[in-house]
A = this chain, B = another copy of it.
């Protein structure tokens, strides 16, 4: 909770050891705990006048048995590296999770009664503003990927005993991301991962695809390589047996298909439709109270199993990572693309290896594009620091979000920039998770050429700029690309690096210093008439345009942005003021949310005129040069735009 002070990592509370098979009394106490939690969820959602008590109540026994019998948790420091992990993929059922931490004594009664208020971090769906939440959920179907990332870290990186439990709803099992995660988890034999499906039959508006046909879901998880146990999910004894079964299963993850009733225990509402996402009458708690075996308050009296403290201490060197200096030769000033040319995607791969050399917790993840993104360089040098995630970009990002939890890993995720759109929702949620995630998208813009529009990243800048607090790099040459990669590793948060397909000349010295939010003036003049702003392939077009303009006695300033977010507003404004208050932006990207709009907003009250060149239509396949020209972002188009800006038509 916001007000609860976190204990330090060294202060691990040792919990009373529960024996493996609980006594009959303990089983009864678990039923009681489930009912206490039911009452909590009803009370807190009544107080909030909104929320999901029925989706919570179906899972009461699942959560009670996990928290007070199966899992090894640290109440004092929930993010303890050796603690088991719990991911509530069906995030709307968070009242039951809050109730569990309340019953554990970690959240006060006052706090749970402030559910969903602006002043309380017990939000409508869970976020890591709470110390016991690793990843935000609430967009369905995403939890299992994050859990699989955590389980991968536990088994292969930390090589520790902690286990990962993920609670899914049955409705969200229609989401493909669940099956991407399932395929990944079984491929990597994540036997420390347990998926529990709360199969309560009812979705938001009607019965799910599966209803109560447990076989249908059971067969799906089996076919995806899981060990599957089907149980009555409101039966404590069956739950305990299933967890034990999972613990004894090796080389594959376990799915527990827990058949439950939505609103279980709430008289008149249990298993009824039309009770999704709304409070139930508060007087229904009386009948639940009647079911207590022991008529006593139990808050704080039950504890989890003790931790097995074997996860290594990890201190990520964020802010201190240094790579070996780049080693390129400057290309010819003719911008001939054959001399000393290197693609920024290749320089990214080179820098990633250098980061991997100095930090074993730098990881590369890719979606079967590693020879195109050049992340395969890391695989070749440090195979233990690379995870092939196959063609499943939602899970690719989800696994990375899982890996970075509790500062276990700094994940670099790469694929074609266009295919990050496949994981746009995962990236949106990664922002809500305040994740430390590095994304590197290659093959941007029409300049990829012949492969055509399906492979061209043309909305990736908008996608990543829209993430609160994100940093977006767009390095132009190999030196800049290596430094962007280094900077990305040293920033906490979501960083995107936009890399290009074409090999382009190196324009910066190897010792050039790059900073976040600082652009470069790469060409200047004594009486410039316009400022041209580019990045990546369009920077070269801008330089070509500048030479052509100079031959016509028009001087311009050319600025290489390097960072698209945050923008170097000061340098843009200063340079524009020197250049008769005229800016021409040019980008290999669509208009919306791109460089042009960002620059327009930055100078929107500065009496500067901005003219923007961008890709307007769905492009066609063709040679890169021809496409740059056809879609209006070539040197020729820039020359025209500058002349038009200087001499506007009447």
A residues neighboring B (CB under 8 Å): 48, 50-51, 91, 116-118, 121, 123-125, 127, 129, 136-141, 171-172, 174-180, 183, 187, 203-206, 208-209, 216, 219-220, 222-225, 368-372, 376, 388, 390-395, 418-419, 421-422, 424-425, 428-429, 431-432, 434, 450-455, 458-459, 462-463, 465-466, 468-469, 565, 590-594, 596-598, 600-601, 604-605, 607, 609-612, 616-618, 620-623, 626-627, 630, 645, 648
Which residues of B have CB within 8 Å of A178? 176
In the complex, which residues of chain B have a beta carbon less than 8 angstroms from the beta carbon of A598? 592, 597
The answer to whether B454 and A432 touch across the interface, beta carbons within 8 angstroms, is yes
**CB distance B418 to A139 under 8 Å?**
yes
Instruction: Assess whether B50 is in contact with A392, with CB atoms less than 8 Å apart.
Output: no
Q: B422 and A418: CB pair below 8 A? A: no
Q: Point out the residue from B171, B421, B610 that lies within 8 Å of A425, measured CB to CB.
A: B421
Q: Which residues of B contact A118 (CB under 8 A)?
A: 620-623, 626-627, 630
CB distance B50 to A454 under 8 Å? no
> Which single residue of chain B is at the shortest CB-CB distance from A429?
B454
B179 touches A391 (CB 8 A): no
A459 to chain B: closest CB distance in Å?
A: 4
Chain B residues, CB < 8 A from A596? 601
**B205 touching A369 by the CB < 8 A rule?**
yes
Which residue on B lies nearest to A608, using beta carbons?
Answer: B604
Q: What's the least CB distance linking A587 to chain B, in Å?
A: 12
Looking across the interface, which residue of chain B has its beta carbon closest to that of A390?
B174
Complex CA gap A205/B607 in Å reads 51
Contact present for A463 and B627 (CB under 8 Å): no
What would be 20 A-B contacts, judged by CB atoms less than 8 Å apart?
A48-B450, A51-B450, A91-B454, A118-B622, A124-B450, A125-B452, A125-B454, A127-B453, A129-B620, A139-B454, A176-B178, A203-B391, A205-B371, A205-B376, A424-B425, A465-B592, A469-B617, A597-B598, A604-B609, A604-B612
* Closest B residue by C-beta to A123: B621
Residue from the list B393, B395, B604 in contact with A611, Cβ < 8 A: B604
B455 near A125 (CB under 8 angstroms)?
Answer: yes
**A176 CB contact (under 8 Å) in B175, B203, B453, B565:** B175
Q: How far is the CA of A620 from the CA of B121 in the complex (A)?
A: 8
Known interface pairs A600-B597, A600-B600. Does A432 touch B205 (Cβ–Cβ under 8 Å)? no
- Do A466 and B590 touch across chains, with their CB atoms under 8 A apart? yes
Does the CB pair B187–A176 fall under 8 Å?
Answer: no
Contacts A219-B222, A593-B593 known; list 10 others, CB within 8 Å. A51-B450, A117-B623, A138-B453, A205-B388, A428-B459, A459-B466, A465-B593, A469-B617, A591-B601, A607-B607
Contacts of A617 in B (CB 8 A): 468-469
Determine the chain B residues whose CB is within 8 A of the CB of A469 once the complex forms: 617-618
User: CB-nearest residue of chain B relative to A432?
Assistant: B453
In the complex, the answer to whether B209 meets A390 with C-beta atoms within 8 Å is yes
Pairwise interchain contact A452-B127, C-beta atoms closer than 8 A: yes
In the complex the two chains form, what is the Cα distance from A51 to B455 in whole Å?
A: 13
Q: A177–B594 Cα gap in the complex (Å)?
A: 28
Report which of B136, B368, B462, B622 forms a contact with A206, defined as CB distance below 8 A: B368
Give every chain B residue within 8 A of A124 (Cβ-Cβ): 450-452, 455, 621
Q: Which residues of B sit under 8 angstroms from A600, Cβ to Cβ?
A: 597, 600-601, 604
Quick one: which of B209, B219, B434, B451 contacts A183, CB cutoff 8 A?
B209
Q: Which residues of B contact A136 (CB under 8 A)?
A: 453-454
Q: A390 to chain B: which residues have CB within 8 Å?
A: 171, 174, 203, 208-209
Write out the residue numbers on chain B whose beta carbons fall within 8 Å of the beta carbon of A174: 180, 183, 390-392
Q: Is the CB of B419 within 8 A of A139?
A: yes
A598 to B462, CA, bound (A): 12
User: Chain B: which residue is nearest A375 at the CB level?
Assistant: B205
A369 CA to B204 CA in the complex, in Å? 7
Contacts of A622 in B (CB 8 A): 116-118
Alpha-carbon separation in the docked complex, A386 to B421 (Å): 28
Residues of B within 8 A of A370 (CB): 205
Cα distance A335–B418 when bound, in Å? 43
State whether A176 touches B618 (Cβ < 8 A). Answer: no
Look across to chain B and name the residue whose beta carbon is closest to the beta carbon of A606: B609
Most buried by B among A390, A458, A598: A390
Is A605's CB under 8 angstroms from B609's CB?
yes
Bound CA span A452–B590, Å? 30
Q: How far is the CA of A124 from the CA of B596 in the complex (A)?
A: 29
Q: How far is the CB of A613 from chain B (nearest CB, A)?
A: 12
A371 neighbours in B (Cβ, 8 Å): 204-205
